[in-house]
Structure 1
């Protein structure tokens, strides 16, 4: 039953040789990896205006130079990550750059920040998309958590089906959003040039009282939330068709160009229209209404905007599993994150991301606005470390033309560092937990690596000296009666060794006497040891028996407990039987010198 449902939801298993068919073309990769960055157009300009309105409507003209500054930082990041793609074609982005050039602690800080950021991306995006739906249909407000969870489940299943299939499905709404925004910008610009806009807005460069450098920097840092997701392409290079690094670099440039044009276009239209932030009406909604009225074009733009806010989470589903794979390969995360699933994706990473983001949505009741500053800090820390790492790389290697690259990374590092500090200073009450959570994540990375290192040391052998030593074994067979299950188990045990004993736990004299009589009549050639249990426990007497009896001799170095167990024909029939065998096996697995094995007997009806 479970297998059929799995095949229905996820699809048929794919051969390892089909991995090349799962690689992404540039157009599909642009849709999969840019949804987070492109969706930020829906709120980037709005975040700038919200901060500027603290100085009054006269300050809104500052949104244009601030947007231009954000555009300049986007250019620096695109150029920097393009260099990173060619320098580190195996992927890993900020984690690999920082680890290689700044040391392991910096790499783990970058990797941990990005992993947390991707979890936050899914939670915030699904909640933001839910907000758009409940704004249009207020009656659904009480079901916002369930709507967000359904969307997370949908994205999780889509990504478990494979990168290519999810890209084919999700590309349609993402490109519809891009087309819709470009139509909106083009229509708005034409309306402005033809004199169709008559908003009374402050002129560029006009004097504004109550404005401060701190406020402008805060507005700039808020606008930089539009740059989240830019790093995803450099993390996901292995997902591209060959030549992977060239295709990744081209995709990054296309994403940066589209994002830049849409962002500056929305900012210009917001200024020309004299848009003011409204909690109940987004900036994009106000621009669309002013340009087209509340007709069908307006509702199309609103619809695809809500959809892109949902699908912004898909970038995390593409980047998180690959980054987790990189960390697992370096032994900082469980090896399970290195395993490919039936559809050749890193399914454990996908499932982990879906579960933890769903837990966040439930914990915050779908109201994840307070996570946005933490979400922004989580991405600008890796931005800064990546830029600094590339600076160190150019100084060490000094390739031809390295000075101009070094200057680009230096400007980027100083800018992203400044933005990170502004976020921390201005929104400390919302981001303080990063100073607790990130050290815990990094500590967990070191604990995982410490375990793997200790395990490797204990398992390592010297092929020239360490050879198998074969000694005898005593087999203990716990029995509950004289049945075919016991018959099969005793037969198997005697095929391995002559040192076999059966152990029976009795609760009263009558049951013990009855068992001894049956065993004597059967006489399987195996000694029966009877244990009395005064407290009606089966596990404790068997454990005590194994602990107290001296088994080890010159010819015997360990004991094997062979547990008979019958397997029911239908899964639900298991609940009709006591599972003493499973409990005994669980307890015995913790003992050092005991080997535990199970002999299954399959019931036919």
Structure 2
């Protein structure tokens, strides 16, 4: 059911995906989670769930019968259309009255959960549908590939010190563009990158007859890293209208999930800030280093 609804954009598209066992695993996870939550709310007494089931069942019956009434009203050439219309209409009225009776009689016994949940789900699904429609309209591109105005991006590499991870990012940056800017945020401590820049970067680049990357040292009086780095990236973007800005973010890839708590906090925050404050011209590229 979740897959059928997701195919019509009323639920997240993750419910369309099949799992390893060819089942719609995410729908099963959601069903399990909501079932556990309902059992917790009603203290595990399944008899209290009968009003919820009754309301859900009679609501489904009412909607299906009403849907058939609408179907026969729009089907002009069907055989015995008015007979079928009558019986479906009678069924819709009967189940609708039963629904109202059960809802009123069992409202304090747990029916209030369904009475609140159904409108809430309708609002959520409508919001999801509106979002998917907006995304499709905004990303649709019926035009052929545009090759005009292609230009190498300005590559920005945030770098605290020189190590193997920084070298990997630098090599990739030199492959991407001739314009590479290494941004080093300098606080009160010794400038570890500036001391080795000529030996580790500048001299090898000159020997290879390549364009020398530019070292940008930004002072941070309060020893903050992200704020001055974001200010520089956004300023560079404003000064170069129409040109892509590629921000290369070196990132450690650890073996165990819990090791992520020990690394990459600044990288993740910077990535989030770039996605929130940037625009289409800022491209974020992860440079993974596998431990």
Matches within 5 A, 1:195-344: 323-344=1-22
Q: In 2, are the aligned partners of 1:551 and 1:559 still within 8 Å (CA)? A: no
How far 1:573 moved relative to its partner? 4.3
How far 1:399 moved relative to its partner? 3.0
* Counterpart-to-counterpart distance in 2, 1:458 and 1:484: 41
Assess, with a 3 A threshold, how the Cα gap between structure 1 residues 535 and 358 changes in structure 2: closer, same or farther: farther
Equivalent in the alignment of 1:454: 134
Matches within 5 A, 1:461-540: 461-463=141-143, 467-469=146-148, 470-508=150-188, 510-512=189-191, 514-524=192-202, 525-540=212-227
Assess, with a 3 A threshold, how the Cα gap between structure 1 residues 396 and 578 changes in structure 2: closer, same or farther: closer
How far 1:408 moved relative to its partner? 4.0
Deviations 1:479-510 (A, max 9, x none): 121111111111110111111011112331x4
Deviations 1:30-50 (A, max 9, x none): xxxxxxxxxxxxxxxxxxxxx
Corresponding residue SS for 2:244: strand
Assess, with a 3 A threshold, how the Cα gap between structure 1 residues 557 and 410 changes in structure 2: closer, same or farther: same
Q: In 2, are the aligned partners of 1:361 and 1:368 still within 8 Å (CA)? A: yes
Is residue 372 from structure 1 mapped to residue 25 from structure 2 by the alignment?
A: no
Is residue 441 from structure 1 mapped to residue 128 from structure 2 by the alignment?
A: no
Which of the residues 349, 359, 363 maps onto 2:41?
Answer: 363
* Counterpart-to-counterpart distance in 1, 2:136 and 2:61: 34
* Counterpart-to-counterpart distance in 2, 1:568 and 1:392: 58
* Counterpart-to-counterpart distance in 1, 2:122 and 2:227: 41
Which of the residues 83, 91, 95 maps onto 1:416?
Answer: 95
Corresponding residue SS for 1:333: coil
Is residue 543 from structure 1 mapped to residue 221 from structure 2 by the alignment?
A: no
Matches within 5 A, 1:557-596: 557-577=243-263, 579-590=265-276, 591-592=278-279, 593-596=281-284
Assess, with a 3 A threshold, how the Cα gap between structure 1 residues 376 and 569 changes in structure 2: closer, same or farther: closer
* Counterpart-to-counterpart distance in 2, 1:553 and 1:575: 36
How far 1:437 moved relative to its partner? 2.8
* Counterpart-to-counterpart distance in 1, 2:112 and 2:37: 20
* Counterpart-to-counterpart distance in 2, 1:330 and 1:450: 11
Question: How many equivalent residue pairs?
Answer: 277
Structure with more of its chain in strand, by fraction = 2
Deviations 1:378-434 (A, max 9, x none): 210110121222234335435335455445434432321221121123223343454
Q: In 1, are the aligned partners of 2:252 and 2:288 still within 8 Å (CA)? A: yes
Is residue 597 from structure 1 mapped to residue 269 from structure 2 by the alignment?
A: no
Corresponding residue SS for 2:222: coil
* Counterpart-to-counterpart distance in 1, 2:190 and 2:46: 62
**Residues 449-458 or 519-528, more deviating:** 519-528
Structure 2 stretches of 5 or more lacking a match?
203-211
Q: In 1, are the aligned partners of 2:152 and 2:176 still within 8 Å (CA)? A: no
Q: In 1, are the aligned partners of 2:252 and 2:264 still within 8 Å (CA)? A: no
Corresponding residue SS for 1:596: strand
Corresponding residue SS for 2:95: helix
Equivalent in the alignment of 1:249: none
How far 1:533 moved relative to its partner? 2.6
How far 1:478 moved relative to its partner? 0.7
- In the superposition, the TM-score normalised over structure 1's length comes to 0.42
* Counterpart-to-counterpart distance in 2, 1:574 and 1:487: 22
How far 1:543 moved relative to its partner? 0.8
Q: In 1, are the aligned partners of 2:173 and 2:248 still within 8 Å (CA)? A: yes
* Counterpart-to-counterpart distance in 1, 2:63 and 2:20: 35
* Counterpart-to-counterpart distance in 2, 1:588 and 1:342: 34
* Counterpart-to-counterpart distance in 2, 1:572 and 1:433: 38
Assess, with a 3 A threshold, how the Cα gap between structure 1 residues 366 and 534 changes in structure 2: closer, same or farther: farther
Equivalent in the alignment of 2:207: none
Q: CA RMSD in A?
A: 2.5
Q: In 2, are the aligned partners of 1:333 and 1:445 still within 8 Å (CA)? A: yes
